[in-house]
């Protein structure tokens, strides 16, 4: 028993050493960490801290997933921007409707859209944007990306400490890229009760497929009143309504 305990302690210590060697800094005590209200998803991250520094990769394969991912990314960016931040949204074939972002806690006038004409300019533009540490977040919509290109972006982001959210819209192959985290967001049907009309709040299956030094997992989340909530399947609709107040 004792040896087992020691073993687990040893493993934990080794893990934190490895994390430190890999450039992950443990949060200083007393510093308030952003958790973005992600709740259970935070368990996936090393030491339960959302990795602000680096690139997050999102993959979507269909138009529905693309919309769900855009919504989730907007919600995340909204949390990062807080009240006065600015964010850059880069892409070549943008379909995001700025007006729709306001439902995810983002003031659309705080988002600067860069609609490039050539794919060739996109990588350069994302890198330039990541270098600017005055930005709260950089969102890039890109189709294809290889390991070398992503490594370059990741290094830039690590240096400037800007969070990059990279949305790979229906890539031909989901090759591994250098990023702290790979997400896949798929839409889930809304609340299944016929008491009220309408389609309910956005619901997503949030899947963390890969995460550096963390535990991948999958959670059903709902975005309601500006925060993420874990969906508890056992709660009925009426309880849910009364819980929501």
Partner 1 sequence: MKRYVAIWLRHLLVDRVLLIRPELDGKPFVLAAKERNRMVVKASSRDALKLGIEVGMVLADARAVQPELEVLDYDPSLPEKLLHALAEWAIRYSPLVAIDLPDGLILDATGCAHLWGSEAAYLKDIATRLKASGYDVRTAMADTIGAAWAVSRYSRAFPIIPPGEQLSALLQLPPHALRLEAAVIEKMQKLGLYQIKSFIYMPPSVLRRRFGQATLDQIGKALGTMHEAFEPVCPAEPYQERLSSLEPIQTAAGIEIAIQKLLEKLCERLVKDGKGARQAVLRCYRIDGEIQQVQIGTSGPSCSASHMFKLFELKIASIEPALGIELFVMEAPVVEPLANAQETLWDLSSGNKITRIAELIDRLSARAGTGVIHRYLPAQHHWPERAITEATTLNDQPEIEWRTDQHRPVQLLAEPERIIVSAPVPDYPPMLFRYKGDIHRIKKADGPNRIEQEWWIDDGMHRDYYAVEDEQGGRYWIFRLGHYNEELSAEWFIHGFFA
Contact footprint for partner 1 (CB under 8 A): 62-64, 66-68, 70-72, 74, 84, 86, 88, 95-104, 107-109, 111-118, 121, 124-125, 128-129, 131-135, 186-190, 197-200, 202-204, 223
Distance CA 71, CA 103 (A): 9
In sign, the C-alpha dihedral spanning 43, 45, 50, 107 is: negative
Distances (CA, A) of 45 to 12, 35, 48, 208: 15, 11, 5, 9
Q: C-beta of 39: minimal distance to partner 1 in Å?
A: 18
- If the CB atoms of residues 142 and 214 are measured against partner 1, the closer one turns out to be 142
Distances (CA, A) of 143 to 109, 174, 232, 240: 26, 10, 34, 39
Distances (CA, A) of 166 to 3, 27, 123, 189, 209: 44, 24, 11, 25, 15
> Where does residue 94 rank: exposed (0-12), middle (13-18), buried (19+ CB within 10 A)?
middle
Q: C-beta of 45: minimal distance to partner 1 in Å?
A: 23
Q: Which of 229, 242, 214 is nearest to 19 (CA)?
A: 214
- If the CB atoms of residues 167 and 182 are measured against partner 1, the closer one turns out to be 167
- If the CB atoms of residues 46 and 92 are measured against partner 1, the closer one turns out to be 92
Q: C-beta of 3: minimal distance to partner 1 in Å?
A: 49
Sole residue written with tokens 């290094």: 155
- If the CB atoms of residues 48 and 190 are measured against partner 1, the closer one turns out to be 190
Sole residue written with tokens 């921007």: 81
- If the CB atoms of residues 39 and 98 are measured against partner 1, the closer one turns out to be 98
- If the CB atoms of residues 131 and 212 are measured against partner 1, the closer one turns out to be 131
Q: C-beta of 173: minimal distance to partner 1 in Å?
A: 22
Q: C-beta of 221: minimal distance to partner 1 in Å?
A: 12
Q: C-beta of 204: minimal distance to partner 1 in Å?
A: 8
Q: C-beta of 219: minimal distance to partner 1 in Å?
A: 15
Distance CA 74, CA 64 (A): 15
């Amino acid at each position: 028993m004792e040896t087992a305990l020691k073993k687990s302690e040893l493993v934990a210590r080794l893990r934190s050493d490895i994390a430190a060697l890999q450039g992950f800094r443990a949060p200083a005590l007393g510093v308030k960490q952003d958790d973005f209200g992600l709740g259970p998803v935070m368990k996936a991250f090393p030491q339960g801290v959302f990795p602000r520094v680096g690139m997050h990769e999102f993959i979507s394969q269909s138009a529905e997933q693309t919309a769900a991912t855009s919504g989730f990314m907007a919600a995340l960016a909204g949390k990062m921007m807080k009240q006065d931040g600015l964010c850059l949204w880069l892409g070549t074939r943008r379909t995001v409707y700025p007006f729709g972002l306001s439902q995810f806690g983002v003031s659309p006038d705080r988002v600067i859209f860069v609609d490039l004409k050539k794919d060739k300019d996109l990588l350069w533009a994302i890198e330039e944007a990541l270098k600017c540490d005055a930005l709260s977040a950089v969102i890039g919509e890109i189709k294809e990306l290889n390991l070398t290109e992503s490594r370059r972006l990741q290094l830039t982001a690590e240096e400037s400490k800007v969070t990059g959210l990279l949305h790979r819209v229906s890539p031909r192959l989901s090759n591994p890229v250098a990023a702290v985290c790979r997400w896949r967001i798929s839409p889930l049907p809304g609340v299944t009760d016929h008491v009220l009309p309408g389609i309910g709040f956005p619901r997503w299956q949030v899947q963390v497929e890969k995460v550096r030094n963390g535990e991948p997992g999958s959670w059903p989340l709902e975005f309601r009143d500006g925060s993420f909530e874990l969906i508890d399947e056992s709660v009925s609709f009426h309880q849910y309504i009364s819980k929501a107040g």
